Amino acid sequence: MTPKERLKLTLAKKSVDRPPFICLGGMMNTAVEEVMDITENKWPEAHSNAELMAGLAAGIYEQGGFENFGVPFCMTVEAEAMGAKVFLGTKINEPRVTSYPLQSMKDWMKLKRINPEGGRVKVVLDAIKILRNKNLQVPLVANLVGPISVATSLIEPTMFYKDMHKNPQIVHKMMTFITENLISFGKTQLEAGANVLAVSEPSGTGEILGPVLFREFSTPYLNKIVEALRDYAEIGTIIHICGRLKNVYRELEDIKSDAISVDGITSIKKMVKNLPGKIIMGNISTFALEYESPMRVKNMAENCLLDGAKILAPACGIGPRTPLVNIQIALEAAKKYELNGVQR
């Protein structure tokens, strides 16, 4: 079974030989320093050069790491395209937004559209084309930062969150505009050769918003994206949400992606129990991946699977100083895991 087949069947809830082990890319960074050194495709150059970006993404798969390709390595591409100023970081620190284009919610119409012909948007699309042409039977993820997370990279987050109460109309207008742009960007990625759709929403969590605001401002827009793009995503659709999700199980039922990926603070067991219709993905602590021994990482990976994760994955984007051996050992844990719960 190829990695592509395995992920496709898993997302379709069909039987597979063993769980896939992937890391989405985008906000869920896949790149580590060791692979940068082996491939000679390093940060920060790899963020703005398609060849380096593709080489680094492929490298992590080729070195026995994640069983997929995922680009880019940050959550700043969409925000930058829409007007944010970004510092591209260093070899071991990811890019971050340094200046917001909006000083007030009223100015949301000043936001630029995401242009596929230029800047790092084009770099991502070109990198996807390069990865597709490698013609490996490996899933290629089209990554989108979720609309709330994009919004809070375009304006001071407190203004955005407060207007959910003070001026919900304007929040909806801004969210609609951002979502349209994300759908368009997602489509160009899928048309360039990506075959999995992933949306990562670190700032639009149940933990931050609570169930009422989550239902009003998060679910509808995430679903809009999934519904618009799922026919273009041959392998399936995944949504990653950070933070404690225990207050939004009912709301998560309404999310239309095939799988939900969670971070370390959410219990896989409880997600599986409360959302029996969903594939749950996650959630090896990224702190453990970076600092713990391989033996400990292996145990944690096994526990995720024993708790019911159908796709093994890190809890969040991995730190670039994560030792490659810890990623390799997590893959070994997935390979050795039989889905009836008994380990070989």
Shorter beta-carbon distance to other proteins: residue 177 or 287: 287
Is residue 103 near other proteins by the rule CB under 8 A? no
Return d(Cα 270, Cα 299) in angstroms, integer: 19
DSSP label at residue 319: P
Quote the tokens at residue 1. 């079974």
**One symbol per residue from 132 to 151: x for binding other proteins (CB under 8 A), - otherwise; what is it?**
--------------------
- Scanning 60-68, 92-100, 190-198, 218-226 for contacts with other proteins by CB under 8 A, the matching segment is 92-100
User: What is the distance of C-alpha 23 from the center of its chain?
Assistant: 7
Radius of gyration of the chain (CA): 19
Shorter beta-carbon distance to other proteins: residue 137 or 293: 293
Q: Are strands 69-71 and 140-145 parallel, antiparallel or unpaired?
A: parallel
Shorter beta-carbon distance to other proteins: residue 232 or 249: 249
Q: Residues 280 to 299: which contact other proteins by CB under 8 A?
A: 286-287, 290
Quote the tokens at residue 72. 């880019």
Is residue 170 near other proteins by the rule CB under 8 A? no
- Cβ count within 10 A of residue 142: 31
**Exposed/middle/buried for residue 96 (C-beta within 10 Å: 0-12, 13-18, 19+):** middle
Is residue 164 near other proteins by the rule CB under 8 A? yes
Among 126, 207, 234, 307, binds other proteins (CB under 8 A): 207
Among 13, 85, 106, 162, binds other proteins (CB under 8 A): 162
Is residue 208 near other proteins by the rule CB under 8 A? yes
Residue whose structure tokens are 């994009």: 150
User: What is the distance of C-alpha 37 from the center of its chain?
Assistant: 24
What backbone torsions phi and psi does residue 94 show, to the nearest 5 degrees? -70, 165
Among 15, 109, 135, 158, binds other proteins (CB under 8 A): 158
The residues binding other proteins (CB under 8 A) are 92-94, 96-97, 157-158, 161-162, 164-166, 207-210, 213, 243, 247, 265, 286-287, 290, 316, 319-321
